[in-house]
């Protein structure tokens, strides 16, 4: 039993050392926006690599009632509150298409650069990119970050989507392996 438990701990520690990329899904809707836009929709992914210090963003959206004026990522004081300050880039994500009502976006931000953060967020979170990155990673992990697309129709935001963690297959495998080991250890102890 000690040998199998040690093996599980060793495998888990090796896998977690390699797990440095966190994937989040974003489902854009008008929920919580001041100017509801029932036909607007979109989806996207956000990938945060805590070793490479990158944030990779991709999105597609359509049906906006006004042309895009800006887009960025906010953090909220509580999960799903919909209020909160801009954390990542201001006024808009670099290269985000402006002046359209449907489109796509893809870009990777270097989170070691001060320019990847809103200056107010950077200052409020230690004043360095490293401290702002740590705060941002904490907000995202706690479910308190959302991607907002602002338009001329909805200047405060026409659609938004919270970043929702996608469980990685290796984490699910570790849980399954642990459950099997626990079941086997109970059988051995019960004999």
**Domain spans of the chain, in order of start:** 1-19+168-191, 21-167
The pLDDT of residue 157: 92
Cβ-count burial 75-110 (b if 16+ within 10 Å, e if not): bbeeeeebebebbbbbebbeebeeeebebebeeebe
What sign for the dihedral angle of Cα 105, 111, 113, 118? positive
CB distance 91 to 70 below 8 Å: yes
Lowest-confidence segment of 7-11, 101-105, 133-137 by average pLDDT: 7-11
CB 17 within 8 A of CB 39: no
Q: Please say whether the beta carbons of 26 and 43 come within 8 A.
A: yes
* Spatial strand order in the sheet of 41-49: 86-88, 68-75, 145-151, 159-165, 21-28, 41-49, 54-62, 103-110
Question: What local confidence, expressed as pLDDT, does residue 154 receive?
Answer: 95
Q: Kindly report which listed range (15-29, 60-74, 123-137, 166-180) carries the lowest average pLDDT score.
A: 166-180
Most confident range (mean pLDDT) of 97-111, 134-148, 172-186 is 97-111
What is the architecture of the domain spanning 21-167?
Sandwich (2.60)
């Amino acid at each position: 039993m000690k040998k199998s438990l040690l093996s599980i701990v060793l495998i888990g520690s090796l896998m977690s050392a390699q797990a440095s990329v966190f994937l989040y899904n974003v489902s854009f809707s008008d929920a919580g926006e001041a100017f509801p836009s029932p036909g607007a929709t979109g989806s996207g992914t956000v990938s945060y690599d805590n070793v490479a210090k990158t944030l990779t963003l991709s999105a597609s959206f359509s049906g906006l009632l006004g042309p895009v004026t800006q887009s960025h990522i906010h953090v909220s004081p509580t999960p799903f509150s919909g209020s909160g300050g801009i954390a990542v880039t201001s006024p808009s994500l670099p290269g985000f298409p402006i002046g359209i009502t449907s489109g796509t976006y893809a870009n990777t931000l270097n989170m070691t650069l001060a320019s990847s953060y809103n200056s107010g967020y950077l200052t409020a979170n230690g004043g360095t990119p490293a401290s702002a990155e740590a705060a941002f990673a904490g907000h995202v992990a706690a479910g308190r970050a959302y991607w907002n697309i602002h338009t001329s129709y909805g200047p405060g935001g026409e659609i938004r989507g919270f970043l929702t963690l996608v469980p990685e297959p290796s984490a699910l495998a570790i849980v399954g392996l642990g459950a099997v080991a626990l079941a086997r250890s109970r059988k051995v102890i019960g004999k």
